[in-house]
Amino acid sequence: MIKTENLNLTTEWDKVYPRNEKVDHKKVTFVNHFGITLAADMFIPKDAIEKLPAIAVSGPFGAVKEQSSGLYAQEMATRGFLTIAFDPSFTGESGGFPRDMHSPDIDVEDFQAAVDFLSVQDTVDSERIGIIGICGWGGMALQTACLDTRIKATVTSTMYDMSRVAGNGYFDSADNEEARYQARIVVNNQRTADYKTGEYAHAGGVVDPLPEDAPYFVKDYHAYYKTDRGYHPRSLNSNNGWNATAGTSLMNTRLFTYSKEIRNAVLMIHGEKAHSCYMSKDAYEDMTKDSKYTANKELLIIPGASHTDLYDQMNIIPFDKMQSFFEEYLK
């Protein structure tokens, strides 16, 4: 028998986005194969009678469901989909200890557990399930699509390949043996220090106050995570960040190895001005080059959009395109 944790779930509406009365909302929980209970917000179109297509949403990386993923989930529910936005393991209202950790295998498992949960709901058509991943969870969504054949359609929005950043640095600026070796020294020394103190040091969230010479994308992060626009008290990025050693396994991992073999549909969305746009472009090229399954793959570049514009800017996020994409492939 699968065991669940008792989670302390808030009953108040504490999202950074307004509630939409066109959909019903409730909190739900489900368990992954590591025995961790995950918390999610479920959004259901009002007056739904027939079984619905369903979408699981998560991200950005280091965010919580009260931020962008919930916004996406609620909006897609207004368009006829049953949706859930979940907190990944070790974060937000979800279970797992120690807190503020992650691992790519558990990240993928969280998405698969969300599909498990949706597949057995009486209100869901189990043959019509998709996923949306935002930022670093866009990469995890694509990785899950490589593995889980139950996922009929996948959307990545403003995607990060976290394994590439962890191994090569931003813009591949540290893509050499010596840089990786020095990074390994730092992270392994931190492991020793953590074990001595019995506590996990945190890497810190988005820098605050913002230095005058901060890169433009750091300014964009600050404008979302550190202001009323997107700040949330449970968000790692808004506060103390991940544990300093949380990314250890990503340094030694490469995602998307089998992306050419994804047979189901994939839509990759990115802002033209996003610092991270190269990650979606390269992942799309790797997925489609010499692949037999290109007809249902698409890369959509949003003119003038930044990385964080796709977090919450309703006039920029292409919800109409996502709706038509899911309607086509979740039919």
The predicted-structure confidence for 27-60, as pLDDT tens digits, reads as follows 999 999 999 999 999 999 998 889 999 999 999 9
Percent of the chain clearing pLDDT 90 (strictly above) = 96
Q: What is the mean pLDDT of residues 273-279?
A: 98
| AA identity, residue 14 | D
- In our burial notation (b when 16+ CB lie closer than 10 A, e otherwise), range 77-108 reads bbbebbbbbbbbbbbbbbbbeebbbbbbebbb
Q: Contact at 8 Å (CB) between 58 and 84?
A: no
pLDDT at 228: 97
pLDDT at 161: 98
Q: Is 330 helix (H, G, I), strand (E, B) or coil?
A: coil
Question: Would the pLDDT of 242 be above 80?
Answer: yes
Six-digit token pair at 277?
């746009």
The dihedral of CA 221, 227, 230, 235: what is its sign?
A: positive
> 59: left (phi > 0), else alpha (psi -120 to 50), else beta?
left
Half-sphere exposure of 328 (CA within 13 A, CB side): 15
Q: Contact at 8 Å (CB) between 142 and 266?
A: yes
Q: What is the mean pLDDT of residues 245-249?
A: 92
Q: What is the mean pLDDT of residues 165-192?
A: 96
* Integer Cα distance of 305 and 272 in angstroms: 5
What pLDDT digit, counting tens, does each position of 94-105 carry? 999 999 999 999
Question: Would the pLDDT of 177 be above 70?
Answer: yes
Question: Would the pLDDT of 3 be above 80?
Answer: no
State the burial class of residue 296 (Cβ atoms within 10 Å of its Cβ: 0-12, 13-18, 19+). middle
Of the candidates 230, 250, 248, the one whose C-alpha atom is nearest the C-alpha of residue 238 is: 230
Residues 6+ apart with CB under 8 A from 229: 16, 223, 312
Mean pLDDT of the chain: 97
* Integer Cα distance of 83 and 77 in angstroms: 6
Half-sphere exposure of 234 (CA within 13 A, CB side): 19
Question: Would the pLDDT of 183 be above 90?
Answer: yes
Residues for the chain: how many in total?
331
pLDDT at 13: 97
- DSSP letter (8 states) at residue 243: B
Helix 136-147, helix 104-119: angle, nearest 10? 70
Q: What is the DSSP string of 55-73?
A: EEEE-STT--TTTHHHHHH
Q: What is the mean pLDDT of residues 152-181?
A: 96
* Topology adopted by domain 23-161+255-329: Rossmann fold (3.40.50)
Question: Would the pLDDT of 2 be above 80?
Answer: no
| AA identity, residue 137 | W
Pairing of strands 23-31, 37-45: antiparallel
Q: List the beta bridge partners of residue 271.
A: 302
What pLDDT digit, counting tens, does each position of 124-154 carry? 999 999 999 999 999 999 999 999 999 999 9
Six-digit token pair at 201?
């040091």
pLDDT at 235: 98
Domain positions in the chain are 23-161+255-329
Six-digit token pair at 80?
């006829």
* Integer Cα distance of 216 and 145 in angstroms: 32
Percent of the chain clearing pLDDT 70 (strictly above) = 100
Question: Would the pLDDT of 118 be above 80?
Answer: yes
Q: Contact at 8 Å (CB) between 296 and 284?
A: no
- DSSP letter (8 states) at residue 202: B
Q: What is the pTM of this model?
A: 0.97
Q: Is 245 helix (H, G, I), strand (E, B) or coil?
A: coil
pLDDT at 1: 60
